[in-house]
Amino acid sequence: MNAPLPHVSPLAAFDAEWQRLDFLVWCLSRNRHGETIDEPEVARLRELQARVVALREPGGLWEATMGFGLTPVEYDVLVCVLAPELEPRLGWAFQNLQANGAQPWASRALIQELLALDVGQGELLRRALEPGATLRRRRLLRMEQDGPYRPIAPEPWVVARLTGRPLDLPPPPGATLVDQAAAWGDLVLPPSRIAMLREFLLWIEQRETVVEQWGGQSVGGPLALFAGPSGTGKTFAASVIANELGWRLYRVDLGRLVSKYVGETEENLNRLFDAAHGQPMVLQFDEADALFAKRGEVKEARDRYANMEVSHLLTRIEAHDGPCILTTNLRKQLDSAFTRRFQMVVEFPRPDAASRTELWQRLLPPRAPVAPALDRRFLADAVALTGGGIRNAALHAAYLAAGAGGAIGLAHIAHAVWRELAKEGREVNLQDLGPLAAYLPMEVANDD
C-alpha cells in the first residue's frame, strides 16, 4: 500500500532555507537604500548559512527529498524559484524588488542580486539556467524564455515533492483522469487473468522490498500490456489496480499523441513523465498499436520521422519509473520482440455466457425495479455482447424503463440491445437478438 501522508508538512524541515532567503531579501532592500549591514546581522547570516549547508550535504534532507544532489549555486537558484510558491511572503517581496513586479517569480537578475554574486559567479548562475543544465534537464524549473529578466517558476512536481502534497496537475496534454469506482469484486474475468492482474500489482506494491531491500534489479515500469477487443474491461481493470493502490489513473491516447503532435510528442511525454515521476499515479496508454503498427512502412520523410519517434516513445515509456499500462485491440499483430518488453501481458477475452450472466447481473442498476421475468442467464445466452456492450445496453434499458415509468422488462432490454448492436454500423437482423427478438417492439425493429 502507499505510505500514509505525514501529518506535519515536510516543508517545515527546510525552514532554514526560507529564513536565510528572507534575510537575504532584507539585506538587499537595505542595500538598495544605501544602508549597511552590521556585524550582528552578518553573524546571523553566517549562522543561517551553516544550517543551510547541513541541509544540502550529500545524504542530507535535500538529497533525501529530491533523490539527487545539486551544486551550491543550483540549490540557491532552486530555493529562490520555490520560495514564492512555498513561502508566499517571499513572493510579495520578490514582486516589490523587481521593477516590472507584476508577478512573484524571481528573475535571474534578482537572484544574482539577492545572492550578491560577483561577475564570475553571475556567469555560473547564467550557465546553471541554460537549457542543457541540470536544473532544466531535471525539470526543476521552467522559464518561458531565456533572459536575465524573465520570471522563473518551479515545476509543480518539485512543489508536490517538497510539501508531500499529491500532485494536482491539470492533466498533461493528451491525458485525462479516469475516475471510476471499480474493485476486484466488480471485475468479471477468468481467474487466470485476475491472477495476472494481482501479480502486476505485486510489481508495484513490493518494489521497495525487492529492489531496495533485496537488491533486485530495477527495470523501470512496471509495464503491462492489456490486449483485447474494445469493451472487454481493460480500462476497468486499470481502474481496479489504481483504486487498490489508492492512486490515480491517467489515460493517454497514444494514437492521438503520435499523429497530432509529431515533433512535439517527445516534449509532451517528457512533461507527462516528469509530472508522474514518484507520484502515486498509474498511466494508461491507449491504442498502443500506434507504437508498432506502422513500423517499417516508410513512404515519406514524415513517416520516417514518425517511425523514429514511435520507437523512441516505447523506450521512453519503458524508462519511466512508475506503473504504465498499454492497451491494444490487436493481439495477433504483436510480435514477441515487442511483448517481451512488458512485465505482464494480459489478454482480455470476450466474455463467455457465464461471464455475461455475471455482467448483466452487475450492470443493471442495483436499485432499479426489474420485471420478475428478467432472467440474466437468458439475456447472456441471447446475445454475445462484451462487458462494455452490456453496460451500455443495461443503462439504456434502465432509461427506457424510467421514461416509461415502470420496471425494466424484456422489451426494454431487447430495444436497448438492438440499439447497441446497431452502433457497430453494420446491418442488424432480428436473428442477431436470438430469443430476445420476440420481445423487440415492432416500431423499433421497423425503424431505419
For Mg ion, give the closer residue by CB, 21 or 344.
344
Establish if 186 lies at the interface with ligand ADP (CB under 6 A): yes
| Shortest distance in whole angstroms from residue 389 CB to ligand ADP | 8
**In this chain, which stretch among 74-82, 228-236, 290-298, 402-410 interacts with ligand ADP, using CB under 6 A?**
228-236
How far apart (Å, rounded) are the C-alpha atoms in residues 448 and 446?
6
Establish if 225 lies at the interface with ligand ADP (CB under 6 A): no
Site for ligand ADP in 348-367 (CB under 6 A): 348, 359
Q: What share of the chain is helix, strand, coil (3-state, %, to 5)?
A: 55, 10, 35
For ligand ADP, give the closer residue by CB, 78 or 240.
240
With a CB cutoff of 8 Å and minimum separation 6, the contacts of 323 are: 200, 203, 204, 221, 222, 223, 224, 241, 282, 283
- Of these, 82, 106, 175, 187, which contacts ligand ADP (CB under 6 A)? 187
Residues in the chain: 448
* Nearest residue (beta carbon) to Mg ion: 235
| Shortest distance in whole angstroms from residue 163 CB to Mg ion | 33
Strand partners, 153: 142
Compute how many other C-beta atoms are within 10 angstroms of the C-beta atom of residue 131. 9
- Of these, 94, 105, 157, 236, which contacts ligand ADP (CB under 6 A)? 236
- Of these, 20, 56, 108, 234, which contacts ligand ADP (CB under 6 A)? 234
Strand partners, 253: 286
Helix 15-32 to helix 72-86 angle, to the nearest 10 degrees?
90
Return the one option of ligand ADP, Mg ion, none that residue 186 interacts with (CB less than 5 to 8 A, by type). Answer: ligand ADP
* Nearest residue (beta carbon) to ligand ADP: 387
First to last CA, the chain: 53
Site for Mg ion in 222-251 (CB under 5 A): 234-235
Q: What is the DSSP string of 255-293?
A: HHHHHH-TTTHHHHHHHHHHHHTTSSEEEEEE-GGGGTT
Could you tell me if 317 and 326 are in contact, meaning their C-beta atoms sit under 8 angstroms apart?
yes
- Of these, 151, 154, 174, 231, which contacts ligand ADP (CB under 6 A)? 231
Cα dihedral: 324, 328, 332, 338 (round 10): -30
Q: Residue 184 has what DSSP assignment?
A: G
| Shortest distance in whole angstroms from residue 357 CB to ligand ADP | 12
Question: What is the Cα 235 distance to its own chain's centre?
Answer: 14
Strand partners, 326: 225, 285
Window 365-404: contact mask with ligand ADP (x via CB under 6 A): ----------------------xx--x-------------
Strand duo 152-154 + 141-143: pairing: antiparallel
Compute how many other C-beta atoms are within 10 angstroms of the C-beta atom of residue 419. 16
Window 187-226: contact mask with Mg ion (x via CB under 5 A): ----------------------------------------
| Shortest distance in whole angstroms from residue 233 CB to Mg ion | 8
Site for ligand ADP in 189-208 (CB under 6 A): 189
- Of these, 25, 90, 188, 276, which contacts ligand ADP (CB under 6 A)? 188
**In this chain, which stretch among 11-19, 233-241, 299-307, 313-321 interacts with ligand ADP, using CB under 6 A?**
233-241
Asked whether the CA dihedral 318, 321, 323, 324 is positive or negative, the reply is negative
Site for Mg ion in 88-147 (CB under 5 A): none
Return the one option of Mg ion, ligand ADP, none that residue 115 interacts with (CB less than 5 to 8 A, by type). Answer: none
For ligand ADP, give the closer residue by CB, 185 or 405.
185
For Mg ion, give the closer residue by CB, 234 or 356.
234
Count of residues engaged in binding ligand ADP, rule: CB under 6 A? 16
Q: What is the DSSP string of 404-417?
A: HTS-B-HHHHHHHH
How far apart (Å, rounded) are the C-alpha atoms in residues 9 and 440?
61
For ligand ADP, give the closer residue by CB, 18 or 236.
236
How far apart (Å, rounded) are the C-alpha atoms in residues 302 and 310?
12
Could you tell me if 105 and 153 are in contact, meaning their C-beta atoms sit under 8 angstroms apart?
yes
| Shortest distance in whole angstroms from residue 395 CB to Mg ion | 17
Return the one option of Mg ion, ligand ADP, none that residue 193 interacts with (CB less than 5 to 8 A, by type). Answer: none
Count of residues engaged in binding Mg ion, rule: CB under 5 A? 2
Return the one option of Mg ion, ligand ADP, none that residue 391 interacts with (CB less than 5 to 8 A, by type). Answer: ligand ADP
For ligand ADP, give the closer residue by CB, 234 or 320.
234
For Mg ion, give the closer residue by CB, 288 or 314.
288
Cα dihedral: 253, 259, 263, 267 (round 10): 0
Residue ranges binding Mg ion (CB under 5 A) = 234-235
Residues that bind ligand ADP (CB under 6 A): 186-189, 230-236, 348, 359, 387-388, 391
